[in-house]
């Protein structure tokens, strides 16, 4: 029996929910798959899913827990605590000796609860790392690098890694970081990148894009940021550039998504009268082909100290849409490797708006390269970042 343990699963279509759903369903060819998850609390918030059901050959067990507003930190912690307790008791009830467990590191309490239950029950667990803790908290400036909290979490991480059968990471920089963190434990680590939704996202003619027409920006050079607006994302540099370019009618910046920085964005746009910035609400995955094609260049951002910590999954669908990428990222990060290996865009260090501004002017002067870069992006998605490629790697890793 293979268990997949994740907070988010079908009908959730938010990043983690989407990926874990496709992984679980894709593995049913080789494994008997069960999922232990929570109730929808992101894109499908408000939906009351059955406590137990079978969907596409996967038996789903949903644990109870609070579904308070995740953008309020106290509520988010309560959600994490109640879900973790519920998952633990469900795991103790249903997991059997000899079962395999694939557990994702979101939320960060989930792998510890799952590991504890699996050790009691005599099962083996494999960690799927989407975000590295405590590094992401340090990068987001929620704690200091040498704090007692960080030292304590690192101590517990060593325990978590020690008893894992294997660790799967979704980036080559993450591989290097986790290799360092597990030094001396002799734990196998494998890199399996996420993938593009090639069947739903593809290049679409710019002059037929309805969103560009609705926004009346067809004559601008459009930069799009679509995705989570969280602490690990450098939105400040983009907005500073937009402020400096507000008298230049050649450019427009479109932000689409939600997160803790959205209110800050709204305030800044209003106070600085940024007519060259459009802020849009999140849209469902089913509309990705429209909004990802509503630009000339797509922006992917991380703040400093995010090397090896996380990989924005939206990157792969930008490739599928055949759009050049402007990445605000550190040198040799997974994003930088993706952009530079196949010549699909440009990279700029995060939190350096002056360098970003110069790059924007450079991009404008080289508009004739967009078509070639867009074709490179689409070919990269087709050859390297398909669901089939990822599933074959997961099957091999789990066997």
How far is it, in rounded angstroms, from Cα 143 to Cα 158? Answer: 19
Q: Cα-flanking dihedrals φ and ψ of residue 197, to 5°?
A: -85, 75
1: nearest Cα among 120, 111, 118: 118
Q: Domain boundaries in the chain?
A: 2-196+386-398, 206-384
Q: What is the pLDDT of residue 44?
A: 57
pTM value is: 0.93
Contact between 356 and 328 (Cβ < 8 Å): yes
Burial of 365 (0-12, 13-18, 19+ CB in 10 A): exposed
52-55 vs 58-62, strand pairing mode: antiparallel
Q: Cα-flanking dihedrals φ and ψ of residue 380, to 5°?
A: -60, -45
Q: What is the pLDDT of residue 291?
A: 97
Q: Do domains 2-196+386-398 and 206-384 have the same CATH topology?
A: yes
206-384 has which CATH code? Answer: 3.40.50.2000
Angle of helix 172-181 versus helix 334-341 axis, rounded to 10: 150
Q: What is the pLDDT of residue 71?
A: 67
Q: What is the pLDDT of residue 322?
A: 98
The count of other CB atoms within 10 Å of the CB of residue 385 is 21
How far is it, in rounded angstroms, from Cα 267 to Cα 147? Answer: 32
Residue 42: half-sphere exposure toward Cβ, Cα within 13 Å: 22
Tell me the pLDDT of the chain (399 aa) as tens digits: 999 999 999 999 888 999 999 999 999 999 999 999 998 877 656 678 899 999 999 999 999 887 777 767 777 788 888 999 999 999 999 999 999 999 999 889 999 999 999 999 999 999 999 999 999 999 999 999 999 999 999 999 999 999 999 999 999 999 999 999 999 999 999 999 999 999 999 999 999 999 999 999 999 999 999 999 999 999 999 999 999 999 999 999 999 999 999 999 999 999 999 999 999 999 998 999 999 999 999 999 999 999 999 999 999 999 999 999 999 999 999 999 999 999 999 999 999 999 999 999 999 999 999 999 999 999 999 999 999 999 999 999 998
Burial 280-304 (b: 16+ CB within 10 A, else e): bebeeeeebbbbbbbbbbbbbbbbb
Q: What is the pLDDT of residue 106?
A: 85
How far is it, in rounded angstroms, from Cα 1 to Cα 398? Answer: 11
Contact between 302 and 314 (Cβ < 8 Å): no
315: nearest Cα among 246, 254, 385: 385
What's the CATH superfamily of 2-196+386-398?
Glycogen Phosphorylase B; (3.40.50.2000)
């Amino acid at each position: 029996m293979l268990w997949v343990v994740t907070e988010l699963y079908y009908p959730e279509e938010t990043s983690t929910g989407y990926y874990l759903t496709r992984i679980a369903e894709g593995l049913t060819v080789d494994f008997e798959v069960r999922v232990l998850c929570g109730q929808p609390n992101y894109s499908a918030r408000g939906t009351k899913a059955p406590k137990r059901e079978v969907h596409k050959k996967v038996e789903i067990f949903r644990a109870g827990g609070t579904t308070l507003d995740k953008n309020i930190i106290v509520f988010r912690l309560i959600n994490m605590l109640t879900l973790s307790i519920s998952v633990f008791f469900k795991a103790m009830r249903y997991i059997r000796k000899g079962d395999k467990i694939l557990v994702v590191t979101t939320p960060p309490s989930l792998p510890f609860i799952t590991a504890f239950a699996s050790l009691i029950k005599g099962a083996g667990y494999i960690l799927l790392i989407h975000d590295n803790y405590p590094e992401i908290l340090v990068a987001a400036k929620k704690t200091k690098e040498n704090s007692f909290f960080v030292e304590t979490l690192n101590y517990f991480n060593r325990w978590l890694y020690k008893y894992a059968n294997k660790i799967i990471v979704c980036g080559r920089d993450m591989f290097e970081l986790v290799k360092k963190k597990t030094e001396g434990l002799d734990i196998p680590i494998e890199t399996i990148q996420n993938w593009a939704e090639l069947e739903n996202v593809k290049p679409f003619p710019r002059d037929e894009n309805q969103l560009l027409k609705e926004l009346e920006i067809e004559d601008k050079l459009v930069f799009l940021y679509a995705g989570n607006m969280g602490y690990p994302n450098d939105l400040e540099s983009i907005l500073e550039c937009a402020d400096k370019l507000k008298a230049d009618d050649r450019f427009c910046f479109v932000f689409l998504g939600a997160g803790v920085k959205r209110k800050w964005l709204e305030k800044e746009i209003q106070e600085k009268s940024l007519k060259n910035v459009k802020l849009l609400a999140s849209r469902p995955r089913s509309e990705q082909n429209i909004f990802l094609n509503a630009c000339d260049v797509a922006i992917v951002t991380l703040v400093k100290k995010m090397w090896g910590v996380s990989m924005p999954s939206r990157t792969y669908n930008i490739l599928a849409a055949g759009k050049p990428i402007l990445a605000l990222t550190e040198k040799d990060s997974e994003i930088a490797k993706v952009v530079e290996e196949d010549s699909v865009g440009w990279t700029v260090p995060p939190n350096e708006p002056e360098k970003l501004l110069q790059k924007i002017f450079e991009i404008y002067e080289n508009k004739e390269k967009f078509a070639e870069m867009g074709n490179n992006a689409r070919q990269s998605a087709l050859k390297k970042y398909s669901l089939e490629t990822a599933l074959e790697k997961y099957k091999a890793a789990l066997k």
